[in-house]
Amino acid sequence: MSQLHLDTLGVHAGYQPDATGAVMPPIYTSSTYAQDAPGQHRGYEYARSGNPTRAAFEKALAELEGGVAGFAFASGLAAMSTVLELLDAGSEIVALDDLYGGAWRLFEKVRNRSAGLKTRYVAPDDIAALRAAITPATQLVWLEIPTNPLLKVADLAAVVEAAHAVGALVVVDATFSTPYLLRPLDYGADIVIHSVTKFLNGHSDVIGGAAIVRTPELAERLGYLQNAVGGVLDPFSSFLALRGLRTLALRMQRHSSNALGIAQWLEGQAAVEKVAYPLLPSHPQYALAQRQFKRGVGGVVSVWLKADEAGVRRFIAALQLFTLAESLGGVESLLNLPWAMTHASIPEADRLRRGVSPNLLRLSVGVEHIDDLIADLQAGFAAI
């Protein structure tokens, strides 16, 4: 199916009607499978090792990303944790310094202690510093595209070139962009990670993660680790996530157009200090974003208000359509205050240095009518 357009592939990837004619895969809840003889099974033996519903979702992920295999996990952090198991104790990682707070917590508060992993952080928009940070000791380069929550864009081809020159793996968290907007494996990245919870599922009713790999060697290694570590996605969530993939193209088109329109509108508001959205001409990496993103850049907009803490809270309280909540990527619009929510685990000095300040809001722009969303934001500004 690889020759199909992504719009079509999203609808058909991963599954063809079975012997019953079922258009969608059944939810196989069995934890174990009958064997014809000891060690002789029909493709499935134990549900942690493999499940037909999960396999359909994993196959769809691989097809959409252009990878050789996909692996579904119980959460985005479960996917990240299992990918890190590819590294030996004491390995060196180079990571972008604007990244999801849970990833920072995993690197610094868990794997540094338990496995001696050493992580050095580099600004996403400083490719010279990134090249300098990558040494022969570097085993893995970790990036998000766009970054969370500042929406910076790394030069993917340049990162891959620098990392592969020393034999390091490149892992890209592409949760914000999805394969509809960007396929990092096409640039030579080794592994793509997603929080399935977000745009891939798209309906705020699943917790899940995924990793898709570029080579058979990585597929063998990560498949072994998925089974050995065991943080797999359950059958019902796999079914829901595959259902979400079927409308990915339609949703990402609307997310992206709404987000761009709202970002443009926000730039004209007197109470706004700054807006971050890669397809705004004011974004420092606008030209790079245009080259790397051909269909839009997704549904997340970050905005800094000209307001103190009390003003920010009044703005939030006045909103009706933008719900204050963790997460993003659902059909409904959400609002997050990274300072106190998703990035609160990062030390205060680091947050401030990176631009994650108390007046920064991250908008997950949904698929509602843009005029209604703008009216909602107008009510927020009136409350400041």
Mean pLDDT, to the nearest integer, of 272-279?
98
Check 111, 183, 198, 214 and give the catalytic one.
Answer: 198
* CATH 3.40.640.10 placement within the chain: 6-244
**Considering only 67-76, 269-278, 352-361, which range has the smallest mean pLDDT?**
352-361
Mean pLDDT, to the nearest integer, of 326-350?
94
Ramachandran class of 39: left when φ > 0, alpha when ψ lies in -120 to 50, beta otherwise: left
Query: What is the pLDDT, as a whole number, of residue 354?
Result: 87
With contact defined as beta carbons under 8 Å apart, do 163 and 154 qualify? no
**Considering only 76-90, 286-300, 338-352, which range has the smallest mean pLDDT?**
338-352
pLDDT digits (tens, 9 = 90+) for 168-206: 999 999 999 999 999 999 999 999 999 999 999 999 999
Percent of the chain past pLDDT 70, that is, above it, reads 99
Please state, in angstroms and as integers, the Cα–Cα distance from residue 338 to each residue in 93, 123, 335, 355, following that order.
24, 18, 10, 11
* CATH 3.90.1150.10 placement within the chain: 248-382
Contacts of residue 372, defined as CB under 8 A and 6 or more positions apart, other chains included, come to 321
Q: How far apart are CA 254 and CA 74, in angstroms?
A: 28
Is 173 noted as a catalytic residue in this protein? yes
Residue among 173, 197, 223, 178 nearest 64 (CA)? 178
Q: How far apart are CA 201 and CA 237, in angstroms?
A: 9
Tokens found for residue 118: 């050493």
Q: Higher model confidence: residue 74 or residue 294?
A: 74
DSSP state of 360: E
Q: How far apart are CA 338 and CA 356, in angstroms?
A: 7
Q: Average pLDDT over the chain, rounded to whole? A: 95
Per DSSP, the residues of 266-305 read HTT-TTEEEEE-TTSTTSTTHHHHHHH-SS---SEEEEEE
Residue 299 pLDDT more than 80? Answer: yes
Q: How far apart are CA 303 and CA 322, in angstroms?
A: 14
Query: What is the pLDDT, as a whole number, of residue 16?
Result: 84
pLDDT digits (tens, 9 = 90+) for 39-80: 889 889 999 999 999 999 999 999 999 999 999 999 999 999
Helices (H), 119-272: 127-133, 156-165, 178-181, 216-229, 235-245, 248-266
Please give the class, per CATH, of domain 6-244: alpha beta
Is 198 noted as a catalytic residue in this protein? yes
Residue 267 pLDDT more than 90? Answer: yes
Q: How far apart are CA 64 and CA 136, in angstroms?
A: 33
Mean pLDDT, to the nearest integer, of 212-217?
98
Query: What is the pLDDT, as a whole number, of residue 380?
Result: 97
Check 7, 48, 286, 295 and give the catalytic one.
Answer: 48
Is 33 noted as a catalytic residue in this protein? no
* Prediction pTM value: 0.95
Check 173, 214, 234, 351 and give the catalytic one.
Answer: 173
Tell how strand 69-73 and strand 209-213 pair up. antiparallel
Mean pLDDT, to the nearest integer, of 117-122?
96
Tokens found for residue 288: 């790079």
pLDDT band at residue 22, thresholds of 50, 70 and 90?
Answer: confident
Percent of the chain past pLDDT 90, that is, above it, reads 89
Query: What is the pLDDT, as a whole number, of residue 2?
Result: 60
Residue 98 pLDDT more than 70? Answer: yes
Does the domain at 248-382 match CATH 3.90.1150.10? Answer given as: yes
Is 97 noted as a catalytic residue in this protein? no
Query: What is the pLDDT, as a whole number, of residue 191?
Result: 98
Q: How far apart are CA 363 and CA 358, in angstroms?
A: 15
Tokens found for residue 266: 């926000």
Q: 218-253: buried (b, 16+ CB within 10 Å) or exposed (e) per residue? A: bbeebbebbeeeebbbbbebbbbbbbbbbbbbebbb
pLDDT band at residue 162, thresholds of 50, 70 and 90?
Answer: very high
Q: How far apart are CA 138 and CA 120, in angstroms?
A: 10
pLDDT band at residue 18, thresholds of 50, 70 and 90?
Answer: confident
Check 28, 54, 98, 100 and give the catalytic one.
Answer: 100
Residue 23 pLDDT more than 70? Answer: yes
With contact defined as beta carbons under 8 Å apart, do 362 and 147 qualify? no
Query: What is the pLDDT, as a whole number, of residue 1?
Result: 61
